Structure 1
Amino acid sequence: MPLLTLADAKAQLNLKTDRDDTELQVYIDAVTPVIEEYIGPVDPREVSEQHDTGTGRRLVVLRTMPVLSLTSVEPVLTGGSSYPVDALVLDAATGSVRRRDGGWFHGLLEVTVQAGRASVTPTINLAARMLVQHLWRTQRPSRSGGLAGGGDDYSVSEPIVGFGYAVPNRVLELLAPYRLPPGVA
């Protein structure tokens, strides 16, 4: 399930025709990396990371979260140890991988995972809808000549020039329960 469909965005914006579909799709595509910056991958995808375990480590802690499944753990250099996936345990909540037998990992490893979410929660979908709406409205003049939607989306508390911010606080607040832990990129 994608983060946001064209139908979702059109419903949020109350658009009834397909006149703006091509332009609107650009906005939909643009919000995905912004949302994922805060909460990690949404749409499932394969991700590979290199981890240097040196002379030995019991855990490999993934940098990409959330993780749906572990695909492979292979040596980068010739002659290194390969680790069969069925001999490993993935803790999806922490992003850690350990050997089932309690042994150590050795050397430079290429870890491949299926990252993302099994489904998009209504809260994450709403945050994406609201972000598209916010960005869409900055490009549409209101009938009175100013920007559409009133000042609260565009004004800031300090007297600085500009439209304010690209990601409204209300979107960040919706994403807060899904925020990546510190140190995870």
Structure 2
Amino acid sequence: MRPTGAEQLVDLPSVKAHLNIPPNDNRQDDELQGFILAAAELARNHCGPFIPETHTQFFDGGRSTIVPDFKPVASVLSATEYYGLSAYPLTEQPLSGQVNAFGFTVDYATGEITRRTFGGEAATFADGAKNIKVVYTAGRAGSVPWTARLGVLELIRHLWQMTQQGGGRPKFNGGAYDGGEGMVPTGFAIPSRVLELWQPYYRGPGIA
């Protein structure tokens, strides 16, 4: 599940400061809050979650490696193999410290979870359909990177300018906002400047 407020990578006071709106001007607060949620959701779709969120996912067995949909993977809380109605908990065991045949390792750079047996040998998860249950946390440790937050703020400014000018490309100081727009997997056009700020965190095609 996603924790309350996970979408809010930036807060309302930060957005007002970025848009040069006086803090005591509350006339557009509801609209700005909508932009905050929309922009942060687009950031999450493009980069994966920044704020940790927990997911439960079932995978087909019969293979040695599985990859969760939500990345980056911060930790695997539990993994369970089901042989029919029998459940067998697996534990994360380093290659140099296997303690039994029911282990797994995680490549946190890619999110890949590999089934392991004695001696660290790769094994296959139990055969079956959706019989491997994994509970994991996706997200990034520490504070949200400033470049990611700035990208969200810039996207909110883009959306705000579109509403204030009644459509068309937003203008700033008489010039174009940036060099153009790029399309994200959702089909939404995002300014190139925003995509540049988010590029270090791009997660590639896939789910969430």
Check 1:156–1:70 CA distance in 2 against 1; reply closer, same or farther (3 A cut): closer
Other-structure match for 1:180: 203
Match of 1:70 among 48, 71, 76: 76
Alignment of 1:82 onto 2:88 = yes
Choose the corresponding residue for 1:22, options 30, 34, 51: 30
Contact 2:79 2:89 survives alignment (8 Å): yes
Which residue of structure 1 lines up, in the alignment, with residue 185 of structure 2?
A: none
Instruction: Select which of 40, 43, 48 maps to 1:40.
Output: 48
- Structure 2 segments unaligned to the other structure (5+ residues): 1-5, 93-102, 182-187
Distance apart, 1:61 and its partner CA: 1.8
Give runs of aligned pairs for residues 108-147 of structure 1, distance below 5 A.
108-118=131-141, 119-141=143-165
TM-score (norm 2): 0.70
1:57 deviation in Å? 2.1
Superposition RMSD in Å: 3.0
CA distance in 1, matches of 2:64, 2:106: 13
**Higher strand proportion, which one?**
2
* CA drift at 1:152: 2.0
Query: Partner of 1:37: helix, strand, or coil?
Result: helix
Report how many residues are paired: 173
- Larger mean CA deviation between 130-139 and 80-89 belongs to 80-89
CA contact (8 A) 1:140 1:148 kept: no
Deviations 1:134-177 (A, max 9, x none): 101111149xxx966346249979xxxxxxx7410110111111
Amino-acid identity (%):
34
Relative to the length of structure 1, the TM-score reads: 0.78
Segments of structure 1 that go 5 or more residues without pairing to the other structure are 158-164
